[in-house]
Structure 1
Amino acid sequence: MIRLLEPADAKLYAELRLEALQENPEAFSASFEEEKDRPIQHYEERFQQKHYNFGAFDEGKLVGVVSLVPETKLKLKHKANIFAVYVTPSHRGKGVGKALLEAAINQAKQIEGITRINIAVVSVNHEAKALYKRLGFETFGIEEKALKVKNVYLDEEYMVLTL
């Protein structure tokens, strides 16, 4: 089941977020060290903002997340960004990521004026890139050495979906 996350989901989200940062540190600009002591209230407040944080649940357990963040500045309001895509390893390859992204895309389509959705993905994450391409995203740029994880530089691809 895919649904918008609520403040009551903050603890589950925080646990999954820390898992994501440990399991796939190369996929996020944030690090486990930066977020491990973050209070649950941070996420409760985030879920009350004008972001759309979707969660995938399996038997009451949060197994995947995605965030859609519409731009708020007047000149950028035609865009939204997708961040923090993660599916726990036991649920990968089962369509959970696709369902989460489709929920975010469908939400963006409901927001008046949004014509573009941006997403960034580390260049070596071939499975994620393939999924994004299947959903219609196209690469429009690459930032070399965008991230440095354990003294290894990683490039990021910037992709866009035109609605």
Structure 2
Amino acid sequence: MQVRELNGKDAEDYYELRLEALLTNPDAFITTYEQEKQRPDPLVKTAERLDSPSSRTFGLFEDGTLCGTATLVKETHPKFSHKGSIVAMYVSPGCRRKGGAALLLQEVINFSKAIELEVLHLNVVTDNTPAKKLYEKVGFQSYGLERKAIKIADRYLDEELMELFLTE
């Protein structure tokens, strides 16, 4: 498995994987499959997001096929510029339990250190035990809980807030 930063040329593969993620793990994402499918010019918008200087998206590849992604969003306000957030993390079921997700996260962490971030944050739905274990494995620690963070129809999902200090 290999990891590299994605760019606008990866838009079609990223978009297809994003749709898979929204269908496979709908509770893990705020955007729904239906919302994503209704976006005008989805490949153009996806390419623009992948080329945006405000975030970096990394892809996990197995045999040349994109099977995982994680996006780093760096805070832009000067007083918060030492922090970043990992969002939209997903690995296809066929690529899970092979060490690729940890490899993907480690690449994001290494890049974050290289651009001198000091703290990484992420949120994970509390009942997503495999994801929580993965984040803990690479060093993230829980610092809070947001109850009823997500509302889907008539049910709520709580999110665990996690952080990783890159300098100590």
Q: What TM-score range do you get, normalising by the shorter chain?
A: over 0.9
Letter in 1 for 2:84: A
Please list, as runs of the form range in 1=range in 2, the aligned pairs for 1:37-116 lying within 5 A after superposition.
37-38=38-39, 39-50=42-53, 51-112=55-116, 114-116=117-119
Distance in 2, matches of 1:103 and 1:145, equals 31
- Can you give the 5+ residue segments of structure 1 that lack an aligned partner in the other structure? none
Find the counterpart in structure 2 of residue 36 from structure 1: 37
1:37 CA drift (Å): 2.8
TM-superposition CA deviations, 1:43-68 (whole Å, max 9, x none): 11111112110001112211000001
- Larger mean CA deviation between 147-156 and 131-140 belongs to 147-156
Letter in 1 for 2:64: G
SS at match of 1:100: helix
Find the counterpart in structure 2 of residue 147 from structure 1: 150
Letter in 2 for 1:24: N
Letter in 1 for 2:38: D
Distance in 2, matches of 1:24 and 1:137, equals 22
Residue of structure 1 aligned with 2:128, choices 114, 125, 130: 125
- Can you give the 5+ residue segments of structure 2 that lack an aligned partner in the other structure? none
Q: Aligned residues, how many?
A: 162
SS at match of 1:36: helix
TM-superposition CA deviations, 1:64-96 (whole Å, max 9, x none): 000011111111101000001000001111111
TM-superposition CA deviations, 1:9-31 (whole Å, max 9, x none): 10110010011011001111111
Distance in 2, matches of 1:93 and 1:36, equals 29
Aligned residues with identical type, % of pairs: 45
SS at match of 1:12: helix
Contact preservation (8 Å) 2:50, 2:57: yes
Distance in 1, matches of 2:152 and 2:127, equals 13
Please list, as runs of the form range in 1=range in 2, the aligned pairs for 1:6-17 lying within 5 A after superposition.
6-17=7-18
1:8 CA drift (Å): 1.1
